[in-house]
A and B are shown apart, each in its own frame.
Chain A
Amino acid sequence: MTMSSTSLATGLRRALSGAGAAGPGRPPLQTRNTRPSRGAATMLALVAPSVVLLVLINAYPLVVAASQSLHKGSLIITGQFTGLENYTDVLTRPAFWKAAWFTVVFTLVGVFGSWLVGLGLALLLRTKIPAGGFFKVVLMLPWVVPIVVSSTAWNWLVATPDSPVPRLARSLGLGDLLFLADPTLAAITVCVFKVWVSFPFMMLMISAALASVDHNVYEAADMDGATKWQTFTRITLPMIRRSTYISWILMTIFCVNDFPTIYLLTGGGPVNATSSLVVLAYRTVFQDFQTGPGVAIAFLMTLALVVISTVLYRQIRKGETA
């Protein structure tokens, strides 16, 4: 059966006007009414309590914290207004820059390490392996288990010379490795711990992105003679790019703000080797009792996060317009 040229033209006109090809269709679109309708007012009224709550929960502490960062006070008394002195003070402290450097390293390893592991496992689980569902659940455990529990377990694994991992290292002829007492090894251990905790999140994000990729694309590539590597680099990665950038943004925020992973395992030591900015902020406020400088560190950290998030978001936009 063929469609005549008249009926095709009619159908196209109807389609362009918003009507279906065969039926009467919906009425033509009306021009937008810029005045708020009663429905919009109702929606605003319904949203208002949530907005007020969000302001109270987020904005109020931020405003008070901003005030604290501009004063020389304590948790109880506001103290003398010192302008930006707390900021200039912390920016001239070597401990701040050491913590900033570790934060960068910790974040880079945390984001890309967990992404690589998550990507690998997501690709593996995409293939038909026996008990795939079971493995998916098991692999989620590091993300699901409370960090207090997992940090205690890792402490048991590595803390003393008689812990399992140092014993294994000795038996492999690697000598006495001080996983938490040596500054370099402690930094590595904390980063590896972060990757271990975070890869399930990445795996989940990437699995969801992979599931949305049309199989026809792979079949077409296969028919064109693309190798597996070409398929991976020219189809899989570009197709999950948007999801990847979003997961990087989220994981960057998680890593920069991550306090328990570091503090529970090393406390920021030895000799500040694993002190990130958030740990330094905590220790400055609650161990050194310097509220203003501690809050200033937290604000500087927030500023850095906003900049990083904006840069990564631009990458997403680029991807959308490309």
Chain B
Amino acid sequence: MNRRAFLGIAAAAASAPALAACTVSGSSNSSGGASDPIKFWDQPWGSPAYNDLAKKVTDGYQPPAGTGKASYQVIPWNNFYQTYASAIASGTGPAVSTGGGFQPFQFAAQGAIAYADDLLETWKKDGFYDDFLPGLLDANKTDNGYAGVPWQLDARILWVNQKLLEKAGVEAPTDLDSLLAAGRALKKIGVFGFGTGTGAGNNLGSHTMVAMMIMNGGGLFDPDGKPDCVTDRNIESMDFIRQLAREGIIDPACISYTTDNLNAQWASGKVATGFHTAGLQSQAAAVKDDLVVNSPLAGPHGDKAALHFVNSVMMYAKTPSQQASEAFLTYYLKNIHQYWDAALINGVPVLKSITASDAFTKNPAQVKIVKEYTPISTTYAARGTKLTAGLAAVDGGQALTQFAQTMLQGKTDSKAALTTLQSGIEEAVK
């Protein structure tokens, strides 16, 4: 080998990590023995104390005779899909896991999910099925069965900083006109009237755009589940966002805001209203007492709707025993109330028994979310009825992120931006 060839190979080898990062080995579907432990993988859904408690809950599982106990593993959010995909492909994945909002559909489409239909039938018989808030179980329904079981909702809530509104001399907004008026008043006191962000790893800006569309009776998809972005309602909503951006009611720097940047803006009193997760109070603790859940806004045509993501627990095809997976999942869901009892989680509960608990009712923000947002909330499917694997590529995908950044720049015509988004989503879900 001459030196030139060596150098070429060296350059190729230097690129290997980039290529290898995209690479996993082939799939294996062999199962272990029925008495092997049930591997349960979970994400950091709150502070480290949440994961400590989740491990304790998992360790407390008493398996049926002939099946194994459960083991607990925390999977960081960074590259979580890659972690799951690599593990599943190499046959070392979990038997049961929590995960991203569209994860059940992604892995179901690749044959890695064990459907929960039999389990739901069992729950119908013992009454646990009725403990779920109406309509939520069906969010996981696919043509082949139920890809997962919901355990919490990740809602997009309109928060207001009551103290800043009072300082600006305005009431809490009830519709787009009053939101615009509040934004103008807040601008006079040096506060941004609509906080969001679309920087690295921050999906809140994209979610805000979709939430604004859904609030106005629009959305990304038609009732048949086909991309349908360029509608009058969506254009109307995005024109409103452009107006906020052009008038300086939205921080022009927010395009590059990470979640930490955005939370810091809330915490420092630079932002007075905006869509955020249900956990904003803990993420902007400095102004916790000033933050209030605003009632859902009415759209220009009187519509009232909101966006949420259904986070599910899912079972995988590769398991020591399907019976053991189902037994553990049942046990786990019947014990998740401990997270809300200990106030260690910011998600919105899906079980009626939790929403009725003393611990939960002590949190007025959470109560208001369940009472006012959950009944009118819908998923990304919006006017459609089914979630699909392709939606994972929409949420957090390049098309929607670029669209949100474009709208926040306030320069591009809404219809043109939505047309580009339509093409991007068609490419993502095909």
Q: Which residues of A contact B (CB under 8 A)?
A: 57-58, 61-62, 64-65, 68, 74-78, 95, 155, 159-162, 166, 176, 178, 180-181, 186, 249, 253, 256-257, 259, 263-272, 278, 281-291, 294-295, 298-299, 301-302, 305-306, 308-310, 313-314
Contact = CB atoms under 8 A, between A and B. Distances in A.
Contacts of B252: 176, 178, 181
User: Interface residues of B toward A: which range?
Assistant: 35 or more
A99 to B, nearest CB: 11
Interface stretch (B1-9, B59-67, B212-220, B333-341): B1-9
A268 to B, nearest CB: 8
Given A178-B252, A269-B255, A271-B402, A61 B8 contact: no
Contact of A76 (B12, B27, B199, B402): B27
Contacts of A75: 22, 24, 82, 85-86, 89
Contact of B15 (A68, A257, A267, A287): A257
Contact of A294 (B22, B107, B396): B22
Contact of B398 (A265, A287, A299): A287
Interface stretch (B115-123, B229-237, B257-265, B363-371): B257-265
Contacts of A62: 12, 16, 19-20
Contact of A263 (B17, B24, B200): B200
A306 B19 CA distance: 15
A68 B15 CA distance: 16
A311 B392 CA distance: 42
A310 B86 CA distance: 34
Given A298-B22, A302-B11, A269 B396 contact: no
A240 B111 CA distance: 58
Contacts of A78: 26
Given A75-B82, A75-B85, A269-B198, A283 B398 contact: yes
Contacts of B3: 313
Contact of B22 (A281, A306, A308): A281
Given A160-B257, A160-B265, A310-B7, A58 B13 contact: yes
Nearest to A159: B261
A45 B327 CA distance: 54
Contacts of A166: 253
Contacts of B428: 288-289
27 contacts: A61-B20, A62-B12, A155-B261, A159-B199, A160-B257, A166-B253, A178-B252, A180-B255, A181-B254, A249-B7, A253-B15, A256-B15, A266-B199, A270-B256, A270-B409, A271-B406, A272-B398, A281-B22, A283-B398, A285-B22, A287-B397, A287-B401, A289-B81, A295-B22, A306-B12, A309-B7, A309-B11
A181 B18 contact: no
Q: Is the interface of B mostly helix, strand, loop or mixed?
A: helix
Contacts of A282: 21
Contacts of A159: 199, 253, 256-258, 261
A74 B255 CA distance: 30
Task: State the 9 A-B residue pairs at the shortest beta-carbon distance, nearest first.
Answer: A267-B200, A180-B256, A61-B20, A75-B85, A302-B15, A309-B11, A181-B255, A65-B19, A305-B11
Interface in B93-112: 106-107, 110-112
B14 interface: yes
Contacts, number: 182
B201 interface: yes
Counting chain A CB atoms within 10 Å of each CB, the highest count among B8, B25, B198, B254 belongs to: B8
B23 interface: yes
B200 A269 contact: yes
Contacts of A95: 398
B251 interface: yes
Contacts of B81: 286, 289
Q: Is the interface of A mostly helix, strand, loop or mixed?
A: helix
B34 interface: no
B10 interface: yes
Interface in B202-256: 202, 251-256
Given A159-B261, A259-B18, 11 more contacts: A75-B86, A95-B398, A159-B199, A159-B256, A160-B261, A180-B255, A249-B7, A256-B15, A269-B199, A269-B401, A313-B7
Interface of B: 3-4, 7-8, 10-27, 79, 81-82, 85-86, 88-89, 106-107, 110-112, 198-202, 251-258, 261, 264-265, 268, 270, 392-393, 396-399, 401-402, 405-406, 409, 428
Contacts of A308: 11
Given A62-B16, A266-B199, A286-B82, A306 B8 contact: yes
Counting chain B CB atoms within 10 Å of each CB, the highest count among A77, A253, A271, A308 belongs to: A271
Contacts of A285: 21-22
Contacts of B409: 270-271
A166 B89 CA distance: 47
A305 B14 contact: yes
Contact of A74 (B17, B85, B202, B258): B85
B24 to A, nearest CB: 5
B268 to A, nearest CB: 8
A282 B397 CA distance: 11
Nearest to A152: B260
A308 B198 CA distance: 35
Nearest to A312: B7
Contacts of A299: 19
B12 A265 contact: no
Nearest to B201: A267
Contacts of B24: 64, 75-76
Nearest to B14: A253
A282 B17 CA distance: 12
A252 to B, nearest CB: 9
A186 B88 CA distance: 38
A65 B257 contact: no
A161 B251 contact: yes
B110 A162 contact: no
Nearest to B199: A267
